[in-house]
Structure 1
Amino acid sequence: MRPILFSVFGYNVQSYGLSKALAALVAAFLLARAFDRVGLKRDSAYSLVIWATVWGFVGAKIYYLFEHAPNLTLHSFGGMGFTWYGGLIGGAAATLVIVRRHRLPLGVVAGAMAIPLTVAYGIGRLGCLLAGDGTYGKPTSLPWGMTFPHGVVPTDVPVHPTPLYEALAAIVITAILWGIAKTWNPPGVFGAYLVLSGISRFLVEFLRINSPALLGLTQPQLWALASVGAGLVLIGCTRHRTAPQPVPTDTTDQRAPTQSSPRA
């Protein structure tokens, strides 16, 4: 694994940070295309991704610091140590602000965000894998077990490469969301994202080394169950609605028909 990919003029380019930057760029590209399809402005998509990313990192760091409050060190305030669900809370808050400020339809935006969020998460997890940041799993004797002797949190014992598992799961979830987005309404697509991503995180936690928080479940598993529940409610409340058609952007040559025009 390579926590530091290369150096430029003495500055180390870290795989963790680069993966997060790449994830944001890809998410912005995908969300802009999704906005195009439903007749929303690309600029709104870029603003949404920028602010959701910034406040997502802030939320992820704050959550991490509260989570590890009894054992904080100066290293805890550095460039590593972020909690995904804290990032989700911070990013969601920023998204609501941008949606309100740009007067965007929340349900349509949520549906458009489902695939970009999934792809970005998968890219970010590959960065975690390269960095060996400690999000790997328990020791394993399986042939694909990995060691991270030069990772940020090193280990010479073969462990489950859980970030890789999550990246692969993100590919599967993306394919499912892409398929159902053709017929499901946007809130339902976002509900499916909450369900599928929640199931993925709940299952992978059995292989990770997080400590139980309640009823033998880890904190991420509790958040995952909440995600699945919210997603099922969202799907149930919107299952009878159909997907909206794209808003036409070309209004040229839409004159009233003349007498010689055929009638439908």
Structure 2
Amino acid sequence: MIAVIPFPDISPELFTIPIFGMEFALRWYALAYIAGIIVGWRIVLGAVRRPRLWQDGTPAMTAKQVEDLLFWAILGIILGGRLGFVLFYQPGHYLAHPAQILKVWQGGMSFHGGMLGVLIACVLYSLRHGLRMLSVGDLLSMAAPVGLLLGRLANFINAELWGRPTDLPWGVIFPGAAAQDCPDVIGLCARHPSQLYEALLEGLVLGAVLLWLAYRRGALKRPGWISGCFFIGYGLARFIVEFARQADAQFMTLGNPLGHALELGGGYGLSMGQLLSLPMIGFGILLLLIIPKAR
């Protein structure tokens, strides 16, 4: 008998409070966003309060500017994440039902969209306050992995974004008819816990590498270096994990059971997550090649 791991019985909601005849619930996913933003903010504050990490001992921002940028970043995460999901994954559905775009509480956020939103916020804030754009980007890149770590853990608790069927001993029996709808599988269907793969690679490992670069290798003295490493690191991690992650339902058909957004023939192809990660990897490589020469 193949060893599998039963899904832990954890409620998606931490608690529910009845107020005026309505129930308000705090969900793990919302808590992940809140905690990720707070911890990321503290990481950035810690870096700007250490002049030795910066070229000529001059941090890219003041503590007050970090607090101001936090509001811009939150807007970028929410607006970019939601619009990215709408445009990248279900444009037809939301074009037919535009009012549902505002219903963010029903789920549907894209990391790549959120990243673009934060990138735009970084550019606009830097231009407005005359800051070194690449250095501000380095600070935001240092803060991003903790949010990725917590967000992927929340995805696991919510039993969403699970992986493809597997017979590996750490396969997880996710609940629900959709998770158990596995062709050619008799009995319970175990799947890759791809959310945990991403939490490990995109969150824990990538975050540790970026902090090591900043605090031990003087990377903040080379504007753009940490940003480049973040783009490459996230892009590679996401590209690899996509091979074990279940494709979005809208891309899966009888002729395309693996849900490739780009079919290359012979049963091979790339998922939407992989297609969106390739420009990130390319941009990160470009930063690492150009920035040192520009100094």
TM-score normalised by structure 1 residue count: 0.82
Per the alignment, residue 65 of structure 2 pairs with 44
**Structure 1 portions without partners, runs of 5+:** 243-264
1:137 lines up with 2:163 in the alignment:
yes
Per the alignment, residue 256 of structure 1 pairs with none
Amino acid at match of 1:183: G
**Structure 2 portions without partners, runs of 5+:** 1-9, 181-187, 248-258
Per the alignment, residue 183 of structure 1 pairs with 218
Q: Secondary structure at the match of 1:202?
A: helix
Q: Secondary structure at the match of 2:157?
A: helix
Instruction: Determine if contact 1:47/1:98 at 8 Å carries over to the other structure.
Output: no
For residues 154-193 of structure 1, the aligned pairs below 5 Å read: 155=180, 157-169=189-201, 170-181=203-214, 182-184=217-219, 185-193=222-230
Per the alignment, residue 4 of structure 1 pairs with 13
Shift in CA distance, 63/113, structure 1 to aligned 2, threshold 3 Å? closer
Amino acid at match of 1:190: S
Q: Secondary structure at the match of 2:261?
A: strand
Shift in CA distance, 17/238, structure 1 to aligned 2, threshold 3 Å? same
Amino acid at match of 1:44: Q
Instruction: Determine if contact 2:122/2:133 at 8 Å carries over to the other structure.
Output: no
Q: 1-side partners of 2:41 and 2:127: how far apart?
A: 19
- How far 1:241 sits from its partner (Å)? 7.4
Shift in CA distance, 102/36, structure 1 to aligned 2, threshold 3 Å? farther
Per the alignment, residue 104 of structure 1 pairs with 131
Identity %: 27
Which of 262, 274, 278 is matched with 1:225 structurally? 278
Q: 2-side partners of 1:3 and 1:241: how far apart?
A: 48
| CA RMSD in angstroms, aligned pairs only | 2.3
Question: How many residues are paired up?
Answer: 240
For residues 120-135 of structure 1, the aligned pairs below 5 Å read: 120-132=147-159, 134-135=160-161
Per the alignment, residue 92 of structure 2 pairs with 70
Instruction: Determine if contact 1:58/1:90 at 8 Å carries over to the other structure.
Output: yes
Deviations 1:66-97 (A, max 9, x none): 32133456877341111111111112111211
Q: Quick check: 74-83 or 102-111, which moved more?
A: 74-83
Q: 2-side partners of 1:157 and 1:57: how far apart?
A: 34
Q: Secondary structure at the match of 1:206?
A: coil
TM-score normalised by structure 2 residue count: 0.74
Q: 1-side partners of 2:189 and 2:73: how far apart?
A: 37
Q: 1-side partners of 2:273 and 2:141: how far apart?
A: 20
Per the alignment, residue 252 of structure 2 pairs with none
